[in-house]
Amino acid sequence: MSRFTDSKVVITGGAGAIGVQTARSFLKEGAQVALVDMSADDLADAAKQLEDAGTVATFTADVTKEADVEAYMRDAADKLGGIDIFINNAGIEGKVAPIMEQAVENFDNVMAVNARGVFLGLKHAMRQMKDKGGAIVNMSSVAGLQGSPGLVPYITSKHAVIGLTKTAALEGAKFGIRVNSVHPAPVDSRMMRSIESGVDPDNADEVQKQYAATIPLGRYAETEDVAHMILFLASKEASYVTGAQYLVDGGMLAG
């Protein structure tokens, strides 16, 4: 099945684990894909990982800077021949610390990437899509739907993504632009290794076991689990879905 033949897809955080897996899934279904990330080296490595699935365009940009965002959107649209689907995926975890010990600089840095970056992505993707419509998927987290000690910058930023998603969905509807958010449980990736080590540097493996034990299905999400949901929301199968929050959490928030 090729749901995305000739669809033009842009993915931020494209060199990360979820970005690469999502790109692979889109490529396998016939899409043309552009990856956006801060590091040219990481993007080159991502493109190499994807060689068996297809060729991707790559763009180096800082998602917190409007000039960069405007430029990569324009250049990706020129390279691909438009933008049909935008995956607003770039994000960082920040440092783990209680609120009373959190540095303002860490809070601001996480909010800049995870909230301001999503806003700027929406702003310029919607400008590219307004004449023919499209689908946008914003990456949030179960952290956008609950609290968690030690992660207030991340938690706050992922809650913000929900408000951005709902507002963008309302504003985008008249242009045929659908906007939804995805909320994974912990994903087996570099980000979770960082959080586990931040919680307890001497016992990160035990932290992982404790986190996994809170998930009814008994394991972290795989990147494929998240990519499957992203592709569904970007597809015509979800043509009547907008402004919604979709869990990929193994039942974590069911209780």
Reply yes or no on whether the pLDDT at 111 is more than 70: yes
Q: Is 146 helix (H, G, I), strand (E, B) or coil?
A: coil
Write phi, then psi, for 72 (nearest 5 degrees).
Answer: -70, -35
Residues carrying an active site annotation: 154
How many CB atoms neighbour CB 2 within 10 A? 10
Q: How is residue 178 written in tokens?
A: 């659908």
Give the pLDDT score at 1: 60
Mean predicted confidence (pLDDT) in 4-27: 97
Give the pLDDT score at 208: 87
Percent of the chain with pLDDT strictly greater than 90: 85
What pTM value is reported for the model?
0.94
Give the pLDDT score at 214: 87
How many CB atoms neighbour CB 151 within 10 A? 25
> Using an 8 Å Cβ cutoff, are 141 and 158 in contact?
yes
How many CB atoms neighbour CB 236 within 10 A? 8
> Using an 8 Å Cβ cutoff, are 139 and 189 in contact?
no
> For the chain, percent helix, then strand, then coil, each to nearest 5?
50, 15, 35
More confident residue, 206 or 106: 106
E strand map for the chain: 8-12, 32-37, 56-60, 85-88, 134-139, 177-184, 245-248
